[in-house]
Amino acid sequence: MIFRSGRYSGFLRPISYIIDLSIIHVLAYRFFEQDFLYLNYIFFVTIAWIILSLKSSFYEIYRHTHVSTILSLVGKQGIVFFLIVFAFFGYYNNLKINPIDIIWYILVVITSIGIIKFAIYFLLKKYRRFLGGNLRKVIIIGLNQKTDQLRKLFIDRPEFGYQLQKTFDLKEPENTDLQSCFDFVLKNNVDEVYSSVAELSNDNLLKLIDFCDNNLKILKFLPDNKEIYTKKLDFAYYGVLPILSLRKIPMDEPFNKFIKRSFDIILALFIIVGILSWLTPLLAILIKFESKGPVFFKQKRNGLDYKEFFCYKFRSMTPSPTAHLHQATKEDERVTKVGRIIRKTSIDELPQFINVLKGDMAVVGPRPHMVSHTHMYAERIDKFMVRHFIKPGITGLAQVSGYRGEVENDDDIINRVKYDIFYLENWSLLLDIKIVFQTVYNAIRGEEKAY
């Protein structure tokens, strides 16, 4: 039986495929005068779209999926669809169709598909919240802080469509045992079981897994006080042997790497040509006029895989032989008058777009530290080195979240590392764009720790 209670994905996904492919083919009809070529287009694009969708999980959208994830899926699908369509019309170049018309066609198709996808997503949320449909009956096994958070989420977010039947506390002997949970699940036709890992022994875990498997119940575990389960684990098979790795880094995937690098190059060229080309001579005059020394300041930093590179900035301090050892502090006497202005507005960081173009840095990523500080933090701060799995950035999630500038105590660097690890494990192009806009807004507004 492919359609279980409370699940519409068995209907929605085939319907979504049909709607999306219909939009693609109906809007393309005007390009073709010969039926044969139009049928070729239908066949080619249909096969390509289905393969692409399966590969990108374009239709794998669930009730708990975040809006930003859907936007990211639509964006990725749109980029590859663009290449597919131009590949077809490039092969059949005798059609002599204006490329601008093809671009408009692609934009209309992707926009229409995106609107329909969001309409279904939000209509289902309203349907669950106000009409009580598309519901899943769930229970929670174990009572602790994590399961209580989940209980509150089920109650406070009815649009998710989870109907909590009961929470079982196995620690209290007078309350219940595991068999009572099984009886309740069967009697009340529960769809999903959520269990705390810490609340069960290994034997009980196996019993619970066997029960759910044998009775076609979905089983999900909450990562609580067992530290390894709190990580973003990646699951794979080596032959038939299941293997867990501690994290999956989205930027390691070739397609994501291409998207991020393209974004970096485009933005870097825009800044270098559009801003640095005329701003550099003006700042050079002001910097030289106030103090002797070079216009640019370069300093060794640690980047991808801990490799050292020279990071460029506009010089904002008087030259000092110990500049590579001491970070700027509040009311630092080394900072010049011009330097205070360009540091406050983050203009001093703009030459790092040259680093981005060279490939040493990305626009968004963990901020690189001075080599001396990196060695120090690597010894003192847990998981500090994880930041070096990806390229460092001109700005980052930690910086727009209030952790930029001087490291005043260990809490500053610990929180910075937490945000950096979250970023590398949850990267998306939309997240990069959001961070860039937040950085620009913060620079215009002025930040307290920009000194």
Model pLDDT for residues 74-133, shown as the tens digit of each residue:
998 999 999 999 888 888 877 778 889 999 999 999 999 999 999 988 888 888 777 767
Q: Are 390 and 249 in contact (CB under 8 A)?
A: yes
State yes or no: pLDDT of 158 exceeds 80: yes
Domain residue spans of the chain: 9-131, 136-230, 254-445
Distance CA 211, CA 243 (A): 24
Distance CA 445, CA 436 (A): 14
Q: What percent of the chain has pLDDT over 70?
A: 85
The region of weakest confidence among 13-27, 129-143, 414-428 is 129-143
Distance CA 370, CA 223 (A): 36
Tokens matching residue 34: 């010969």
State yes or no: pLDDT of 384 exceeds 60: yes
pLDDT in the model for residue 204: 85
Multiple choice CATH, 136-230, 3.30.300.30, 3.40.640.10, 1.20.1250.20, 3.40.109.10: 3.40.640.10
pLDDT in the model for residue 4: 47
Q: Are 427 and 396 in contact (CB under 8 A)?
A: no
Q: Are 185 and 217 in contact (CB under 8 A)?
A: yes
pLDDT in the model for residue 309: 92
Distance CA 234, CA 253 (A): 13
Distance CA 451, CA 439 (A): 16
Q: Are 6 and 134 in contact (CB under 8 A)?
A: yes
- The residues facing 310 across adjacent strands are 300
Q: Are 169 and 175 in contact (CB under 8 A)?
A: yes
Instruction: Write out the DSSP string of 36-76.
Output: HHHHHHHHHHHHHHHHHHHHHTTT---TT--HHHHHHHHHH
pLDDT digits (tens, 9 = 90+) for 240-295: 656 566 667 888 887 788 889 999 999 999 999 999 999 999 999 998 888 888 88
Alpha carbon dihedral 295, 300, 302, 304, in 10-degree steps, equals 60
Q: What percent of the chain has pLDDT over 90?
A: 26
The region of weakest confidence among 16-30, 219-233, 414-428 is 219-233
Q: pLDDT class for 385, splitting at 50, 70, 90?
A: confident
Distance CA 304, CA 389 (A): 6
pLDDT in the model for residue 405: 65
Distance CA 179, CA 80 (A): 51
Return all residues near 72 (Cβ < 8 A) that are at least 6 apart: 428, 429, 430
pLDDT in the model for residue 32: 83
Distance CA 171, CA 200 (A): 10
Distance CA 140, CA 169 (A): 9
> pTM for this structure?
0.60
pLDDT in the model for residue 236: 63
The region of weakest confidence among 21-30, 199-208, 242-251, 376-385 is 242-251
pLDDT digits (tens, 9 = 90+) for 219-253: 888 766 555 444 566 666 655 656 566 667 888 88
pLDDT in the model for residue 5: 46
Highest mean pLDDT among 154-158, 186-190, 317-321: 186-190
Q: Give the count of beta carbons closer than 10 Å to the beta carbon of residue 342.
A: 23
Q: Are 133 and 106 in contact (CB under 8 A)?
A: no
Whole-number Cα distances in Å, 223 to 142, 150, 191, 194, 260: 12, 11, 20, 11, 31
pLDDT digits (tens, 9 = 90+) for 324-380: 555 665 666 777 888 888 888 888 899 999 999 999 999 999 999 888 888 888 888
Mean local confidence (pLDDT), 210-219? 83
Tokens matching residue 187: 């009697």
